[in-house]
């Protein structure tokens, strides 16, 4: 588009801190600001940007569930079909589960060819020193003009790939970090973008597919974790488990050994993926005997996926197939930049 053309973007609000207000009765924050009020906090006259508004939820993101991901993806599909010349999407969202929701949208909407931008704030937009207006304006800039063709999180002047991002700080404005590699861009006087991102491509035909199996469990290993925990999870009807192991994906193998539980889970058609509790680095089950033990009984490695992305991806994969070889193939393939490897160049697990 030329510099004189109006860029149409859609702002979809879902609640979160950015839209929160203080309730005197409960003495706590809860979502309540309308989409119009959020936009009123921005500078007047944003030039050649037209913002189309959609209010989807007023939800604290701690209450977000997998079906909300599907509803959000459906809303994006609807607005993209209604407005063919849309330049991008902005989604205001709570920070607590933003990494999960953004990752889910990444898998559910592929080849969109335009930016789908998640943002939010650490301080409600109703507060004068809120970071909300800046983050929202930055997200609108990226959606309208950024040469990005993937789902991302814009926060505190940085642009992060959705599937490579973690919330790492509770109160600071820089709540999110990219976890190997670095951010895909920054917001300064101009939008500065780095190589390795997916670029805009309006010729693509978007693929919308919201099928997931939400019976996936995330289990963090800790000293003293009872060995029978995995059996209990399977008995509860879960079809997949992401185990956050120590370091490079290590698990206990002597006292409270998890190996038998992993094998039993797999024998009962429950798929097991091992990720790392560490924010940076990757799960490599071939390094230590305590990691290889998990691999030898059939666990899959998450490699350098975040635990959030691994959980969402496993749910998405199991929504499409439960054939073991196909699940393993899909989990070892990078679909939306969620890991640095593909099934063709994965380090050997044998």
Q: Annotated catalytic, 95?
A: yes
Q: Annotated catalytic, 119?
A: no
Q: How far apart are CA 231 and CA 223, in angstroms?
A: 18
Find the catalytic residue in 8, 13, 96, 259: 96
Q: Annotated catalytic, 17?
A: yes
The answer to whether 159 and 150 are in contact (CB under 8 A) is no
The answer to whether 164 and 135 are in contact (CB under 8 A) is no
Which residues lie below 8 Å from residue 199, measured CB to CB, with a gap of 6+? 147, 148, 149
Find the catalytic residue in 13, 14, 17, 306: 17
The structure tokens listed for 231 are 């059996």
Find the catalytic residue in 95, 97, 210, 306: 95
Find the catalytic residue in 8, 167, 198, 313: 167
Q: Annotated catalytic, 259?
A: no
Instruction: Indicate which residues carry an active-site annotation.
Output: 17, 95-96, 167
């Amino acid at each position: 588009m030329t510099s004189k053309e109006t860029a149409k973007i859609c702002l979809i609000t879902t609640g979160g801190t950015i839209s929160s207000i203080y309730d005197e009765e409960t003495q706590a924050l809860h979502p309540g600001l309308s989409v119009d009020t959020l936009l009123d906090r921005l500078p007047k006259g944003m030039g050649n940007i037209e913002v189309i508004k959609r209010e989807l939820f007023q939800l604290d993101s701690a209450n977000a569930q997998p079906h909300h991901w599907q509803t959000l993806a459906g809303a994006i599909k609807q607005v993209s079909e209604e407005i063919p010349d849309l330049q991008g999407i902005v989604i205001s969202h709570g920070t607590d589960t933003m990494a999960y929701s953004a990752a889910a949208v990444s898998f559910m909407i592929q080849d969109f060819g335009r930016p789908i931008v998640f943002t939010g704030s650490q301080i409600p937009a109703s507060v004068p020193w809120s970071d909300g207006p800046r983050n929202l304006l930055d997200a609108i800039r990226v959606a309208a003009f950024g040469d990005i063709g993937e789902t991302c999180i814009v926060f505190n002047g940085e642009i992060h790939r959705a599937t490579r991002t973690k919330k790492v700080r509770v109160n600071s404005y820089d709540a999110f970090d990219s976890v190997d590699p670095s951010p895909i861009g920054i917001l300064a006087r101009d939008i500065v973008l780095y190589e390795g991102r997916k670029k805009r491509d309006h010729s693509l035909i978007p693929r919308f597919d919201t099928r997931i199996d939400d019976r996936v469990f995330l289990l963090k290993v800790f000293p003293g974790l009872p060995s029978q925990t995995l059996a209990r999870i399977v008995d509860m009807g879960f079809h997949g488990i992401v185990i956050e192991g120590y370091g490079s994906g290590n698990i206990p193998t002597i006292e409270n050994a998890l190996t038998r539980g992993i094998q039993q889970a797999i024998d009962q058609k429950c798929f097991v993926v091992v990720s790392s509790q560490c924010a940076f680095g990757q799960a490599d089950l071939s390094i230590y005997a305590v990691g290889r033990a998990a691999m030898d009984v059939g666990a899959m490695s998450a490699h350098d996926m975040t635990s959030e992305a691994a959980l969402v991806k496993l749910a998405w994969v199991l929504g499409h197939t439960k054939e073991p070889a196909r699940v393993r193939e899909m989990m070892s393939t990078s679909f939306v930049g969620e890991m640095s490897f593909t099934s063709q160049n994965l380090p050997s697990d044998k």
